[in-house]
Structure 1
Amino acid sequence: MGCLGNLLWFVCGGCISGLSWVLTGCLWCITIIGIPVGKQCFKFAALSFFPFGKDIAYSGGAGSFLLNVIWLLVSGFWLAVESALIGTLLCITIIGIPFGLQHFKLARLALMPFGSNVYTTF
């Protein structure tokens, strides 16, 4: 079911969400200081392209908190708004509810990506 969900997700809008993360990662990688942030964006772009069968564990310390605040002010807010709006639109229909819930998961991730780990669920 996860493979079919990922295929439908990619065709019906996951591509747009993933490309947003890739673009954000490229912009962060322009500066040397932003390269670790850009690498994190590319990791979450892969999650955004194919989110079914994966889950996110949130943890972190003071360094993650500080980096999350900078991230939120620079680019995280807009990625979260994008995912929340698309998720809301998808939840209007019964068929779109699983896709909308995935967008809400990505919106939460866009607010605090540092200190988060992605792992595969079976």
Structure 2
Amino acid sequence: MLRLVLNVIWLVLSGFWLFLGYMVAGVVACLLVVTIPFGIAAFRIGLYALWPFGREVVRRPTAGAASTIGNVLWIVLFGWWLVIGHIGTAIALAVTIVGLPLAWANLKLIPVSLVPLGSQIVDSGRYVPAGRLM
């Protein structure tokens, strides 16, 4: 129930705008055929930004050299700007006690905003790495 309340507050205060921003970036990246992987990553981040509580980012075990090279390009072109934006927004949200969980959600977006390729977003507590049994 708490996740639902936090997600609704997040959606109203900042999640919807982050979602729209990432969706616009994804559409622009997909229009340029070479940057389609960046567009798909932007869509994934946007959906995570829309409803972050109860979800987390994990590294895909099958991520290879192509995602590493893509992540280096992403960091240089977009990643560091996104990190600065998320840190600034988190500081602004942390000014009030009500905004502290929202600031934490904004900080949770930093890893996937910095290196999105080779990552996946899963429900919290439901991810089992490959090769492990529950």
- Same fold? TM cut 0.5: yes
Matches within 5 A, 1:2-41: 2-41=3-42
Q: CA deviation at 1:74?
A: 1.7
Are 2:43 and 1:42 equivalent residues in the alignment?
A: yes
Q: Secondary structure at the match of 1:45?
A: helix
Distance 1:65 1:91 in 2: 33
Distance in 1 separating the partners of 2:21 and 2:88: 14
TM-score (norm 2): 0.83
TM, length-normalised to structure 1 = 0.91
Computing the radius of gyration from Cα coordinates, the structure with the larger value is: 2
Supply the AA of the counterpart residue of 2:109: L
1:90–1:100 contact (8 Å) kept in structure 2: yes
Mapping 1:1-122, distance limit 5 Å: 1-59=2-60, 60-121=63-124
Q: Distance in 2 between matches of 1:14 and 1:28?
A: 21
C-alpha RMSD of the superposition = 1.5
Taking every aligned residue pair, what percent have the same amino acid on both sides? 28
Aligned length in residues: 122
Classify the secondary structure of the residue corresponding to 1:33.
helix
In structure 2, list runs of 5 or more residues that go unmatched: 126-134
Report the Cα offset of residue 62 of structure 1.
2.3
One-letter amino acid of the structure 1 residue matched with residue 4 of structure 2: C
- Alpha-carbon offset, residue 7 of structure 1: 0.7
